Chains A and B, each alone.
Chain A
Amino acid sequence: MQIHDLSQPAGWLPLVFLGLLALAMLVYVILDGYDLGIGILLRRAGDEEKDMMIASIGPFWDANETWLVLGVGILLTAFPIAHGIILTSLYLPVTLMLIGLILRGVAFDFRVKARAHHKPWWNRAFYTGSLLASLSQGLMLGRYITGFAPGVASWLFAVFVALALAAGYSLLGSCWLILKTSGTLQLRAVRWARGSLWLTALGVAAVSVVTPMVSSRIFDKWFTLDNLVWLFPIPLLTAGLFLWIERLLRAFPDRQAAGDTRHDWLPFVISAGIFLLAFIGLAYSLFPFLVVDRVDIWQAASAPKSLMFLLVGVVIVLPAILFYTVYAYRVFWGKAHPLSYY
């Protein structure tokens, strides 16, 4: 690997933008993950529950999806070459994901505005779109990890990652419901969370096993003795979080019956923690490449002058975005209420 002079803008700017890209994708996966997950779970809920589930994400989903636009925007802006390779290689799943996102996005509004007897159809569109988008994103992740390798085995892996990511989003979604609802819906959410837990865990395990097998470079990064010592906490912590959330969810019905709501927020934070650790592990494996072992961030980066111009905006605007995002979440703090426009 070429050594880059990090005191020069051409050296450090790609790193900064990689950090921003990672931040945008991580925030996207967690935030849109929970609302896509609620879409996937919608089919299992009763009619009134459906309304409450949608109400719990109503004020947020638009902004959640914007993180995807930011992520793709940074990829496009800062690393145009990687953007071209990745999106051209993933043409079909990207198309399917977009169609899924379109379906669920419009269904969200149509279901309460169209004629009442069309509502079940829009609910179905919301479910189908959410599932399609989640599966496509998982397929993209699976294909991406293997460096778009041809062959049945790598495609089977991608399909498995697709299922696992849908399960992971269901986990986030049901934990969001535990946080935002109460009563029977909350209990159902606990069951849904427990149901999606094992497939999520299998998915994380599969990605952890397969990624080092893709490239000897990644293998060496993990499995040399020096590195292993300080990397070991990542899988260990992940396993710990899985066990913790499992125990927490098992004890949840008793706790709810006792009127204890103090820990309603905990499952969501733990499941977000699982996503965070998996993300860190993956990011460590791939760094500094944007396309596995082919294109690194310095090869793919735009002209420093353009990145600098954008960085000025990022430095000023991103804190404001984070600030008002937190503000918006605070406005709708606490248990969800039925949605009303006025």
Chain B
Amino acid sequence: MFSTVDPVLLARVQFGLNISFHILFPAINVGLAWVLVYFKRKLAKTGDEAWMDAYRLWVKVFALSFAVGVVSGITMSFQFGTNWPGFMDRAGNVAGPLLGYEVLTAFFLEATFLGIMLFGSNRVSPRVHTLATVLVAVGTSLSTFWILALNSWMQTPTGHEIIDGKIHVVSWWQVIFNPSFPFRLTHMLLASGLTIAFLLAGLSAYRWLRGDRGGDVRAALRTGVFLGAMLIPAQIVVGDLHGLNTLEHQPAKIAAMEGIWKTGTSLPAVLFGWPNEVESRNDWELVAPIPGLASFYLTHDFKGEIQGLEAFPNAHPPVLPVFLAFRIMVGVAMLMLLVSWVGAWQLRRRGEPRPWLARTLVGMTFSGWVAVLAGWYVTEIGRQPFLVYGILRTSEAASKVPAPLIGTSLTLYILLYLFLITSYIAVLFYLARQAARKDGEAFKAEAETPQPVIPNR
């Protein structure tokens, strides 16, 4: 059934599927780990049990996401070898140590202290338990650091030399702190913060709409909405800077994102269209009425010149997916801005959300996932046809495993992941409903009487 399909394409689809599935869970947990630290801190400072109730629900979400993240991450570590032996052969001198540092400094730290964080609160002192929680959070962030260092190096490689076709490192500092790394790392950390912000807000709004309006629901809802409202402007600024950085180092990606086919000055911004690679133009193009807008936001000059796709023959990415994914990402970001700011306004003014807003938040529970995936597709498909930009082509790195074998395992993975993602989302909402039932007195009044400080356990 798969024997007629290009094995490189199958290997890419399989790897893409795994990495897409995997990233969903770190995207939640990198942010959620720090939110849990925050909940513990608030509990210690205010003594308000609502923070403990919130911690109780969200630590379960964390444990579940962590398990799914770990096992799909193990899959990734094998697929570097099974799907891209050419990558490890040529770029292994860079990729290997960076992945190695991720395992050594991050994976063991988070996995080991997770046990203490989840199950050890009655076996260690509150101080040690808080320390374990912080170390788990540090671990998740360190992991982001290393993997994004590698990914950014693949996008904007520096600090290396090529001897006999193999990449050798000249300066590790330049390899790690390559030109796109600071932007990509910040962009991803903020994306994780936004993912968890809308997940917090969405699940809490769901509980709110069900009439479960205890202190923990309010606390988590406020945390989510205000976190989102704070992070989204920062994300838009960082995203813009990241775009400028990409224009400098990967102009072909920008041309695909913007749907610019011909090099020119004073280019207008294409709001929407349907890139047509056969005729090198956009069908149904809708252009912003401001002349030179694309030139302006890319070069910060209305008359700036931008290279079109024609400047990169045989070395530019497929345009349609990059173009569409970019619009999805930006669209979700705009929606996030609108909803989180209206939400923050309502919470400040009225202390509670209006039902329509709560419903919108429920609808946006997983909006972070959509934006994260769309963003990753922009940057990863946008790097094509290269695996390491300008150095190693994807087709050169692919495995010699026959297509039917890849196809069979791909089918297994698709079925498994569909099942898991459905179960995961169902269980999250189920946990949210359960949290209300266990509380018993979930419908506590807003006004809390001051309580003595309880050690956080």
Contact = CB atoms under 8 A, between A and B. Distances in A.
Interface string B386-426: 00000000000001110001000100110010001001001
Name, among A91, A99, A321, the residue most crowded by chain B CB atoms within 10 Å (CB to CB). Answer: A91
A91 B100 contact: no
A240 B419 CA distance: 48
Contacts of B124: 331
A220 interface: no
Given A63-B108, A65-B70, A87-B78, A340 B101 contact: no
B82 A310 contact: no
Contact of B168 (A305, A310, A313, A317): A305
A76 B116 contact: no
Interface in A29-81: 58-60, 62-63, 65-66, 68-70, 72-78, 80-81
B191 to A, nearest CB: 24
A63 B132 CA distance: 14
Given A63-B111, A306-B93, A114 B423 contact: yes
A230 interface: no
Contact of A59 (B92, B109, B119, B399): B119
A47 to B, nearest CB: 20
B70 A105 contact: yes
Given A77-B96, A92-B405, A341 B70 contact: no
B412 A88 contact: no
Interface string A103-128: 10110111001110000000000000
B81 A76 contact: yes
Contact of B100 (A87, A101, A310): A310
A332 interface: yes
A92 B123 CA distance: 43
Contacts of A88: 81-82, 85, 399-401
Contact of B81 (A87, A306, A314): A87
A70 B457 CA distance: 33
Contact of A94 (B59, B78, B97): B78
B118 interface: yes
Contacts of A331: 115-116, 120, 123-124
A332 B412 contact: no
Contacts of B47: none
Given A69-B77, A110-B423, A309-B169, A318 B111 contact: no
A331 B169 CA distance: 42
A194 B80 CA distance: 40
B427 A313 contact: no
B93 A341 contact: no
Interface residues of A, number: 61
B89 A81 contact: yes
B431 interface: yes
B297 interface: no
Contact of B63 (A78, A101, A109, A303): A109
A243 interface: no
B99 interface: yes
Interface in A316-340: 317-318, 321, 324-325, 328, 331-332, 339-340
Contacts of B119: 58-59, 332, 339-341
B115 A87 contact: no
B401 A310 contact: no
Contacts of B265: none
B234 to A, nearest CB: 32
A59 to B, nearest CB: 3
B67 A302 contact: no
16 contacts: A58-B115, A59-B120, A66-B111, A74-B100, A77-B96, A77-B97, A84-B85, A91-B401, A91-B409, A110-B64, A309-B169, A314-B104, A317-B104, A331-B123, A341-B60, A341-B118
Given A105-B70, A321-B109, 6 more contacts: A62-B67, A65-B70, A94-B82, A113-B60, A328-B116, A331-B124
Interface of B: 52, 55-56, 59-60, 63-64, 66-68, 70-75, 77-78, 80-82, 85, 88-89, 92-94, 96-97, 99-101, 103-105, 107-109, 111-116, 118-124, 166, 168-169, 172, 399-401, 405, 409, 412-413, 416, 420, 423, 426-427, 430-431, 457
